[in-house]
Structure 1
Amino acid sequence: MNKILLSFFAITLMISCKHNNNTIKKVSRNQLIKDSLTLEIETLNSKNYFNGLGVAIVDSTGILYEKGIGFADLKSNKPYTKNTVQPIASVSKTFIGIALLKAQEKGLLNLDDPINKYLPFEVRNPHFNNEPITVRQLSTHTSTIIDTENYMGRAYVLKDKIDSTLIKIENIPQSFNPSDSKIPLSQFLENYLSENGKWYKKDAFTKNKPGQLFEYTNVGASLAAYIIEVVSNQSYAEFTTEHIFKPLKMNNSGWSYDDVNFDKVSKLYSSPKIEVPYYSLITYPDGGFLTSVNDLAKYLNEIMKGYYGNGTLLTKASYNELFKRQLKAENFTERNANHPYKDEYNIGIFMGFSGTGNIGHTGGDPGASSLMFFNPKDKIGRILLVNTNIENQEGVDVYYGIYNKLEEYSKKLKE
């Protein structure tokens, strides 16, 4: 009996050792792949087109690779890490989609209801006064609301008390307004969209019928977020924190600088040598989210799980709606069928589709650019955040070159 037991233990030990050796080999191999990827990204950015950047590769099981490269503050040589916080611009809009569907699950709204059912002030296209605009049309950028000079000139507000008249940065179309000019989101939207608003102009609406054509709009996106505020009796920041960020443990994220550890916030640059002052958006839901590549990777992991039927934030039915292609070819005046990261070939509920099938969103604001997509066939997601404006074609090539490297190495990490 003892000999049988000894033999059994010996065989078990051999199997265990073999398994451990295989695990060690796989871990070592993956680390070599990650180190090689980091080196390739650093080589691509060797001319310092971007002072700092964060990258991640994700699948539905978790984060396969994440890295901060370069500097969050060039003057102090403060490194850009996976936990460095920066704005992600319009990738922020994807949270509006999740929040709308959560509000619909809770019975607070219906995507196909007219927006004036919920708003405390009326919003109508003056060219189609009797044609209601729906919540769904806001979420698919077919509401006919557009961004005018009133948006570009009024929405961006400086964080600190700086003489805004002295800030003149080339290649940035937005105006930076004094910190004390910040007003509530509701007031901004009423001023801009209501016939009685003090900035109201008919050119804030196209001459198309609501629901007819895709026309990307930041103001329309923020109006959708404001409707969530009205129906939930919470600020949009509170609603998304409760239903998205806390469940996903996105602890380095928020809608304002007061919500995050400012020591982790990256400086932004209009060019590698010129800093952009810290700013926020009055229409913060459309592009003002502050996060790290690590936190955003948690979110991408969740929406990928949602796509494959295993998400935790929404029901399967809601995730199906989020990723349902809502528009047809006739809803677009132009489409790029070949660009893998142009997110306006079709759209779900604030969730973009490229012509080649990638799902996600792009983002760009003064000093910040972002890409967040996943490929439903390869089941791989990728994130790129940079803290420096893309100045020229060489910068564009490096930007997409880095993102393509993430795709190339994701296949190696999955082998």
Structure 2
Amino acid sequence: MKNIFLFSITLLLTTLFVFSCDKDDDAPPATTTIETAEELTAALDNIYASAEAPGFAVSVVKNDAIIYQEAFGKADIAAGKDFTNQTLLPIGSISKTFIAAAVVKAIEEGYFTLETNINDLLPFEVNNPKQPNTAIKVKHLVTHTSGLLDAPDYYLAAYHILPGEDLTGLGAQILTEIGAEQRQTIALGDFLAAYYLPDGEGYSPDNFANTAPGNTWNYSNIASSLTAYLVEVATGKDFKVYVQENVFQPLGMDDTAYDLADLDAQHVAQLYWDEQTPFPKYTNDSYPDGGIHTSNEDLGKYLTDMMKGAQGQSTTLFSQASYEMLLSALLPSGVLPTYVGENQGVFWFLGNGFILHDGSDPGTACDLRFNEEGTVGSIIMTNMDASTDEHEEAFTEMATAILTAINEFSDAN
């Protein structure tokens, strides 16, 4: 059931959506049909009417300002709650860009560098049995070239339904079918040790690629969370606290958190398999790789700062040089598969003039992107599912229509 990654969506939307500032300056202006916020709202209303999403929210940032931010549909159909700019939902793998921010902050504070051997920092050793004489460095983790792989069954079993949630509905059955039990969360360090240490219950040689670090790209959720744990160990602070203090608070993201218990339940969206099938509330032991819950309003603050950082115009989170490190290409040419993009920064993907990341989990699909100049960017957040081929196709169709409308609007403004 679970399509853990949305790379096909990323590629399709990236090739379809080109901001006006990437066009030939000498070319004649394109005919614009969506010029005002009212016209964009009308277009998005029409998209919502024909889409399968319970609700969605959109932001458009241009020249350091949010020029459009609206929400459509329902955050909770049964309760009749509207989806608003304050509605909270998980953003999936966009959370990895917050691991990236934490890594860059820790580097700036002198805890390690991109060249640091991870075993110089971790309380347990992570060794690839197929490449025993090679060193995995921080730079390999943040570019998915560490040789550490995801075992799908182990990763899916990291999802678990929160205690107290109703297990009788179809949404709960769907989650249990992929291995999600109702239980307490396993501590991050214990989860990782069980996967990477030879005596761990999740350990297997299949958790490792037979390739030296830096040579082959393999997207890994669990290795991403290992990166977060590395930050936690090196700084001596719980990773959630470190991100809260160094990212959320400086940006004024006051309604953003990893744990549902830390959020206002009245603003938390209901997630859906389809419009008739809500999911129970769930979380993941590997929480750093996809566990952030936020709103269109808060994520807009983050996007705006990342775009200013791309321009060399922000020092809100760290120095200008650190923003440059975060968003610059780190891989040799040809390492990143072409279906993903052209290169990779610290977890951010680079391609076709864009810096971007998307994310999906059961009942949520999101897209965050901006052009490499940092002048135009967008957010899409929805409480629809994109974890099967059919659902992914429905999300792609809706997101493509939204991005096309946004493109027309941003061209005119």
Fold-level match, TM-score > 0.5?
yes
Q: Deviation per CA, 1:298-322, whole angstroms, max 9, x where unpaired?
A: 0000011111111121111111111
1:245 pairs with 2:242: no
RMSD, aligned CA: 1.9
Q: Following superposition of structure 1 onto structure 2, how do residues 133-152 of structure 1 map, counting pairs within 5 Å?
A: 133-152=136-155
CA contact (8 A) 1:123 1:195 kept: no
**Residue among 340, 344, 347 paired with 1:347:** 344
In the alignment, which residue of structure 2 is the partner of 1:69? 72
The number of residues matched between the two structures is: 373
1:177 pairs with 2:178: no
Give the C-alpha shift of residue 79 in structure 1. Answer: 0.2
Give the C-alpha shift of residue 53 in structure 1. Answer: 0.5
Structure 2 vs 1, CA of residues 348 and 193 (structure 1 numbering), >3 Å: closer, same or farther? Answer: same
Q: Following superposition of structure 1 onto structure 2, how do residues 58-207 of structure 1 map, counting pairs within 5 Å?
A: 58-162=61-165, 167-169=172-174, 174-180=178-184, 182-207=185-210
CA contact (8 A) 1:150 1:192 kept: no
Secondary structure, counterpart of 1:90 in structure 2: helix
The 2-side partners of 1:117 and 1:278 are apart by: 37
The 2-side partners of 1:323 and 1:147 are apart by: 25
In the alignment, which residue of structure 2 is the partner of 1:18? none
Give the C-alpha shift of residue 77 in structure 1. Answer: 1.4
Secondary structure, counterpart of 1:56 in structure 2: strand
Q: Deviation per CA, 1:79-133, whole angstroms, max 9, x where unpaired?
A: 0000000000000000111110100111111111110001111101110111011
- Unmatched 5+ stretches in structure 2: 1-33
Structure 2 vs 1, CA of residues 160 and 403 (structure 1 numbering), >3 Å: closer, same or farther? Answer: farther
Secondary structure, counterpart of 2:356 in structure 1: strand
For residue 285 of structure 1, what is the amino acid of its counterpart? P
Give the C-alpha shift of residue 330 in structure 1. Answer: 3.1
In the alignment, which residue of structure 1 is the partner of 2:380? 384
The 2-side partners of 1:304 and 1:238 are apart by: 24
The 2-side partners of 1:212 and 1:165 are apart by: 47
TM-score (norm 1): 0.86
Q: Deviation per CA, 1:263-321, whole angstroms, max 9, x where unpaired?
A: 10000001122111111111111000000011000000001111111112111111111
Q: Following superposition of structure 1 onto structure 2, how do residues 154-303 of structure 1 map, counting pairs within 5 Å?
A: 154-162=157-165, 167-169=172-174, 174-180=178-184, 182-303=185-306
For residue 176 of structure 1, what is the amino acid of its counterpart? A
CA contact (8 A) 2:91 2:292 kept: yes
In the alignment, which residue of structure 1 is the partner of 2:334? 330
CA contact (8 A) 2:155 2:222 kept: no
Q: Percent identity?
A: 33
TM-score (norm 2): 0.86
Q: Deviation per CA, 1:136-159, whole angstroms, max 9, x where unpaired?
A: 100000001111134333211212
Secondary structure, counterpart of 1:331 in structure 2: coil
The 2-side partners of 1:281 and 1:211 are apart by: 28
The 1-side partners of 2:244 and 2:374 are apart by: 30
Q: Deviation per CA, 1:230-251, whole angstroms, max 9, x where unpaired?
A: 0111111100010010011001
For residue 353 of structure 2, what is the amino acid of its counterpart? G
In the alignment, which residue of structure 2 is the partner of 1:28? none
1:314 pairs with 2:314: no
User: Displaced runs of 4+ in structure 1, greater than 4 A?
Assistant: 162-166
Structure 2 vs 1, CA of residues 103 and 367 (structure 1 numbering), >3 Å: closer, same or farther? Answer: same
Structure 2 vs 1, CA of residues 206 and 163 (structure 1 numbering), >3 Å: closer, same or farther? Answer: farther
RCO higher in 1 or 2 (8 Å CA, sep ≥ 6)? 2
Give the C-alpha shift of residue 162 in structure 1. Answer: 4.2
1:368 pairs with 2:345: no
> For the pair shown, which has the larger CA radius of gyration, 1 or 2?
1
